[in-house]
Amino acid sequence: MELQTILEPLGYEFFRHGLIAATLTGALSGLMGVYIVLSHAVFGGAVVSALLGWNFFLGAGAWGFLAALLIQGTARRRNIGADAAIGIVTTASFALGVALISKTRSFEQNFESALFGNILGVTPQDLIAIGAVSAVIAVAVFFGYKQLLFTIFDPEIAPIYGISTRWVDAGFALALAATIVVCMNVVGVTLIAAAIVIPPAAARLLTDSFGRLTMISIALGAVCGFTGMFVSYSWDVASGPAIILLAASAFGVIYVVTGAARGVRGRPRNTAPNPILNTDPHFGGD
């Protein structure tokens, strides 16, 4: 592929907007990758806010935040597991959104974008929202990193060392809801879970350090978002699937290469399941 062909789409404003949005949301998804479950809950909020004429970002964000708190509260009851709480709240909320759409049938176009993403429809307002959310979350994670790490690693012990895990939980729920809402227009709500889970899962194969994992995950998310946009334009496929397939391919390559390296070294690495993928310690409460 010639350089001219690669650079051609940069001449279009819609593509430049989409590229910035995809890169930023890729990085943001990589950063927030520990939390993968709220996207479907936010969808319900988006539908309700549209029906009631609320601002999309505020309505869907508030809904996502409340859903996160509801999951945390439900999971704190010892006889209901976090997985069950997540399943109940997110699927019920998603189902509510779908039910309202099927009932009213008044805004199918917008919500198809919300479901599957529409990078070409990224407006300057969207870009401002994505940039603002990325900046605020980056600063919050930077200064709250130690508390966040302790809370994720050891949620029962962190309070004994003076960390208010409830505030950390609430703050992260808010950040996650905001992330999903601003990512929704880029990759779509149905693909956002993959956008959030793949970068940290791939990074986990490369490092045993949480700090390095965070950096690799952010970089991988950004690179996949950036590159996926060009793939989307060149091959004329939807941007969301292009980004996700690229991320999945990167994961596959890293999986094979690290597996081969493990075979050469002759010792096991990361034999235990990936906690970032198969558990949800934050929402597990106690």
Partner 1 sequence: MHAVSGGYGGADVFGDVTLQIPRGQFVGLVGPSGAGKTSLLKAMLGGLPRVSGSVTVGGVPVMPGKPPAGAGYVPQIETVDWSFPATVADVVTMGRVRRMGPLPWPNQADRRAAEEILERLGLAGLGRRHIRDLSGGQQQRVFLARALIGAPDLLILDEPTASIDVKTRDDILHLLAELNRQGVTVVMTTHELNAVAAHLPSVVCVNGGVVAQGSPLDVFTAPILSRTFGAEMRVVRDEQTGGLLIAEAGWHGPFAEPRFHHAHLHDEGIPHERAGLGVSGGSSNGHAAHIHDHDRIHEDERTIAGVAD
Chain residues that interact with partner 1, rule: CB under 8 A: 77-78, 142-143, 145-147, 149-150, 152-154, 156-157, 159-164, 204, 207-211, 213, 270, 272-276, 279, 281, 286
Q: Which two tokens stand for residue 145?
A: 């990193």
CB of 265 to partner 1, least distance (A): 13
The Cα 174–Cα 181 span in angstroms is: 11
Give residue for tokens 């994670």: 141
How many Å is the Cα radius of gyration of the chain? 19
CB of 161 to partner 1, least distance (A): 6
CB of 205 to partner 1, least distance (A): 10
CB nearer partner 1, residue 83 or residue 154: 154
Q: Is the dihedral of CA 57, 63, 66, 71 positive or negative?
A: negative
218 neighbors 31 (Cβ within 8 angstroms)? yes
CB of 135 to partner 1, least distance (A): 16
CB nearer partner 1, residue 158 or residue 242: 158
CB of 208 to partner 1, least distance (A): 4
CB nearer partner 1, residue 40 or residue 204: 204
38 neighbors 67 (Cβ within 8 angstroms)? yes
For residue 85, CA distances in Å to 51, 53, 90, 154 come to 26, 29, 8, 20
The SS3 assignment for 12 reads coil
CB of 266 to partner 1, least distance (A): 15
68 neighbors 82 (Cβ within 8 angstroms)? no
